[in-house]
Amino acid sequence: MEHEKLNYVEFAAKDLAATKAFFSAVFGWQFVDYGPEYTAFDNQGLEGGFYYAEMASQTANGGALLVFYSDNLEETLEKVEGNGGQVVKAIFTFPGGRRFHFVEPSGNEFAVWSNAVV
C-alpha cells in the first residue's frame, strides 16, 4: 500500500457465483467470501471485491473502465467468450496497441489491451 495511491476497487454483481466462476476461469483469480453478498480478490494489480446489487458498471453510463493487459489478445478474447463473457467492442487499434471490451456475467464492462502487432 502506498500513501494516496489507488488500492481497492468494488463492483456491483447481480450473480456473484457466475462472476467468480468467470474471473477464476479467464484470469485465474481466487476469491475470499465475506458473507453471502460480498467476495474479494487480491494480487491482481489492484485489490477489490464484488458486492451483491442489481446494477453494473458500463462506460455508456459513465462507469470507469478497468483494463487488463494480455500478451495474446486473441487467446484472451477466446477465453472471455468461452466462459460466458460477451464482447461489446471487437478488437480495435489505438495509438500503441489494440484492445477489446467485454461484459462479464453480472454485466460489468472491462477491456483487455495488448501492444500493437509489430
Q: Look at residue 118 in the predicted model and tell me its pLDDT.
A: 57
pTM value is 0.94
Q: Which of 114, 56, 54 is nearest to 85 (CA)?
A: 56
Output phi, psi for 63, to 5 deg.
-70, 150
pLDDT of 33 > 60? The answer is: yes
Q: What is the pLDDT of residues 50-106, one digit of tens each?
A: 999 999 999 999 999 999 999 999 999 999 999 999 999 999 999 989 999 999 999
Residue 97's CB is within 10 A of a number of other CB atoms, namely 14
Percent of the chain with pLDDT over 90: 92
